[in-house]
Amino acid sequence: MNKKFQWDFWAWITLLSIVVFGLFLMYPLFSLFASAFQDAMTGEFTMENFTHFFDRKYYYQSMINSFSVTTCVTVLAVIIGTALAYFMTLFKVRGKNIVEICIIISLLSPPFIGAYSWILIGGRSGILTQWLAGMGIDFPSIYGFAGILLVLTLKLYPFIYLYVAGAMKNIDSALIEAAESLGCSGIKKVVTIMLPLITPTILAGALMVFMNAMADFGTPMLIGEGFNVMPVMIYSEFINEVGDQANFAAAMAAIMVLITSTIFMLQKYVVNKKSFTMSSLRPLPVGEMTGLKNVIMHLCIYVLVALSMIPQLVVIYTSFLKTNGSIFVDGYSLDSYRTIFESLGTAITNTYLYSTAAMVMIVFLGMTVAYLTTRKKSWLTDVIDTLTMFPYIIPGSVLGITLLLAFNDEPMLLSGTAIIIIISLVIRRLPYTLRSSSAILYQLSPSLEEASISLGASPLKTFFKVTAVMMLPGVMSGAIISWITAINELSSSVILFTGATKTMSVAIYTEVIRASYGTAAALSTILTLTTITAMVIFFKVSGRRDVTL
């Protein structure tokens, strides 16, 4: 006799998960691809939008540019991040904790602040540019390919550092000792033993770097100057030509989704073939360099971290300078702060409100959906688990366009509202909390829940009173990281915002475009200090001294 289906709490959570991912992820993606294959005038099926893209060098060159800058950023980030992780893990570094905190802050701050800071430093009227000009030296242009490469590399190498440093802590020293006993030492030991062990981790970090660099909108928009990349081209076509060329922008967005999907699946295939589990019974010993080598190592680490922190330090300093229009003049002032609180206070309030609302939803959905996919496995929960992978491969600007295309008409007219921005934040950041929640659940024995139920508690009460309580510290630490990335979100918000729903990231971007550098610096300082404060809370809540991604 078949068991009768019951509409219990978990059935409703299953339905809610399907509705959330179906309505706010799959339906918008379907709308994107449908629009990409539609004729703008007749609405009939056509390949003209794709043909138009590949026929004109102006458009397909942006795809080539995206690949070139993204590949170079990924390679440089892997080299710098892996080398940094090697020295920071295996050797004593003075001030290591401070160095790691600076690295994390540089990772979590938005890259467009880095672009803006380098404009202040090395732009045509930049501090360094003018100083060198006074000495008769021409400073290389910060604009174009080189500037984008500099900003994104300094922003994204921490991904590799955090991944590789975590992997190296799991290498058992017995492997290294065995290799040394067989005559393998020095660089050969690193290449033949250590590098193969951390290769899957490097590939996972490289994917994060690649996806972030490919999807970044703010940096190339601010300092690209003719070096067009896909996110900027999609934004320009969609915003400037929304009346009759939205279908072409949708086609470009669809191409970008296909590119990122292919890269993601390729990386997953390679990692799955090479992946294995390491259990470090005896972690690698920490050595100490001496003499000139020690000085060079410390100097390289400190210079790298100083370059990474320059954006934050520059915006904080310039936010207190007097301004005359777009020019900084002698003297200090709080005028920039007075201006933003008088005219841009709504953007600050919106940022905290939207991000907090998104975080509440992310915590609830992250815990409940993770429980579904780990404890109540079925073909339906497998489908939900697969759907949670999609936000990894959708760039922010593309997600913004998909949501606008899907919810720009009745009966679900969400464009121009705060709801659509909150939805975009939830969809983009939920997968990270889901993954961390699932990892926590795999570490909790089901016997704890069984014991609670055997003592008379209902399964629902057991979840909220036992399982959720044990999950909460780990979930909250992940949610804080999601909140930090949400307050710094630009790519989707810059497409979805209106005057009433502007956020700090969008306000900073628009102020830089208007050459109102003082107010942009003041807003950036508030955003940076908020990020640092949230990081302090993260370390207190998690009890950790590092960040696991």
pLDDT number for residue 1: 42
User: What percentage of the chain carries pLDDT values higher than 90?
Assistant: 14
Report the range out of 166-175, 298-307, 369-378, 463-472 with the highest average pLDDT.
298-307
pLDDT number for residue 249: 87
pLDDT tens sequence across 66-90: 999 999 999 999 999 999 988 888 8
pLDDT number for residue 315: 85
- Angle 176-180-183 from CA coordinates, rounded to 5°: 145
Is residue 336, in this structure, part of any structural domain at all? yes
Are 230 and 26 a contacting pair, CB within 8 Å?
no
CA atoms within 13 A on the CB side of 52: 16
3-state secondary structure of 112: helix
pLDDT number for residue 77: 95
Is residue 8, in this structure, part of any structural domain at all? no
Q: Residues 520-532: what's their mean pLDDT?
A: 88
DSSP string spanning 283-338?
BPPPB---HHHHHHHHHHHHHHHHHHHHHHHHHHHHTTEEEETTEEEEEE-SHHHH
Closest C-alpha to 162, from 214, 110, 101, 223? 101
**Domains contained in the chain, number:** 1
Is residue 6, in this structure, part of any structural domain at all? no
Is residue 243, in this structure, part of any structural domain at all? yes
Q: Which domain holds residue 332?
A: 20-275+286-542
Pairing of strands 327-332, 321-324: antiparallel
Beta-bridged to residue 38, according to DSSP, are: 45
State the chain's mean pLDDT as an integer. Answer: 83
Closest C-alpha to 208, from 150, 262, 267, 272? 267
Residue 478 has pLDDT above 80, yes or no: no
Q: Residue 139 gets which letter from DSSP?
A: P
pLDDT number for residue 358: 93
Amino acid 455 reads L
Q: What is the CATH number of the domain that holds 103?
A: 1.10.3720.10
pLDDT number for residue 278: 54
pLDDT number for residue 152: 92
Residue 458 has pLDDT above 60, yes or no: yes
Q: Residues 358-364: what's their mean pLDDT?
A: 91
Is residue 15, in this structure, part of any structural domain at all? no
pLDDT number for residue 406: 87
Are 168 and 198 a contacting pair, CB within 8 Å?
yes
pLDDT tens sequence across 205-258: 888 889 889 888 888 988 888 888 999 888 888 877 544 567 888 899 999 988
Is residue 11, in this structure, part of any structural domain at all? no
Which of 392 and 342 is assigned the larger pLDDT?
Answer: 342
Is residue 488, in this structure, part of any structural domain at all? yes
Which of 181 and 47 is assigned the larger pLDDT?
Answer: 47
Is residue 280, in this structure, part of any structural domain at all? no
Q: Residues 300-329: what's their mean pLDDT?
A: 85
| pTM reported for the whole predicted model | 0.83
Residue 91 has pLDDT above 50, yes or no: yes
Closest C-alpha to 156, from 95, 268, 69? 69
Which of 323 and 210 is assigned the larger pLDDT?
Answer: 210
